[in-house]
Amino acid sequence: MRVYVTTYNRYNSGSLAGKWFDLADYADREDFFSACKEYLANENDPEIMFADIETSIPGNWLGESHVDDDCWEYLDLSEHEKEVVEAYYEAYGSRTDLIELVRNALESLSTTTEGRDHEDCIDEMLEVNGYCEDKMTDLKQLGIYMDYDASWNRYFKHNYHFARYNGRNWYFRAN
């Protein structure tokens, strides 16, 4: 996660002179802003501006002149956890702080599937709840087939939020 640091004075004067900073190089927000101020020490009362931001953090926790304290918590997540958070944000959006978003995402992830429809998810949910493949095969032999679309529409879509993200289906238990 990188930000391009300059000042509003430079920007208003037509200059984009600045420097890229990688947030992972700093222990916290205070450490990061100290490095920015040190870089801009030759300017009189600099107003720090982030002219460009490269990040995978969903939402508005980084802005033109703002870096949320919670960004460092996000940086500490594993790549898998970051992907879960990004998919959760895709499914829900967020009106909460970043740490609560992370906690909710990791706690509510139910499953991910590669399929284009909900069939794999429903099969997995049934298996987890004791309806193994043998029982489903027995039902099919009796001529009883599951209507996956109806099952999704009647039960699952009201209990799970769904997002298509990075080529997979992500399912989160509804809160």
Could you report the per-residue pLDDT of 100-131, keeping only the tens digit for each?
777 777 777 766 666 656 777 777 766 666 66
Question: What pLDDT score was predicted for residue 71?
Answer: 85
Query: Is residue 4 pLDDT above 90, yes or no?
Result: yes
pTM: predicted TM-score of the whole model, two decimal places: 0.65
The residue among 35, 50, 76 that closes a domain is 76
Judge whether 39 and 25 are in contact, CB under 8 Å: no
Residues 82 and 107 in one domain: yes
Domain ends where: 76, 99, 123?
Answer: 76
In order of 35, 39, 40, 82, 115, the CA distances from 18 in angstroms are 13, 9, 9, 29, 45
Q: Are residues 155 and 82 in the same domain?
A: yes
Other beta carbons within 10 Å of 141: 8
Structural domain for 9, as ranges:
2-76
- Residues 82 and 144 both lie in one domain: yes
Pair 127, 117: CB distance under 8 Å:
no
Query: Both 123 and 42 in a single domain?
Result: no
Q: 117 with 149, same domain?
A: yes
Same-domain check for residues 108 and 47: no
Do the beta carbons of residue 95 and residue 111 sit within 8 Å?
A: no
How far, in Å, are 35, 123, 140 from residue 173 at the CA level? 41, 16, 28
- Please check whether residues 41 and 119 belong to one and the same domain: no
List b or e across 8-43, with b for residues whose CB sees 16 or more CB atoms inside 10 angstroms: eebbeeeeeebeebebeebeebeebeeebeebbeee
Same domain, 69 and 141: no
Instruction: Say whether both 106 and 142 belong to one domain.
Output: yes
What average pLDDT does the segment 76-99 reach? Answer: 78
In the chain, the percentage of residues whose pLDDT exceeds 70 is: 78
Last residue of a domain, one of 26, 54, 76: 76
The pLDDT value recorded for residue 49 is 92
User: What pLDDT does 36 receive?
Assistant: 94
Q: Out of 55-64, 93-102, 150-159, which region has the weakest mean confidence (pLDDT)?
A: 93-102
% residues pLDDT > 90 (the chain): 23
Q: Name the helix (H) or strand (E) containing 161.
A: strand 160-165
- pLDDT-based confidence at residue 97 (cuts at 50, 70, 90): low
- Are 65 and 82 found together in one domain? no
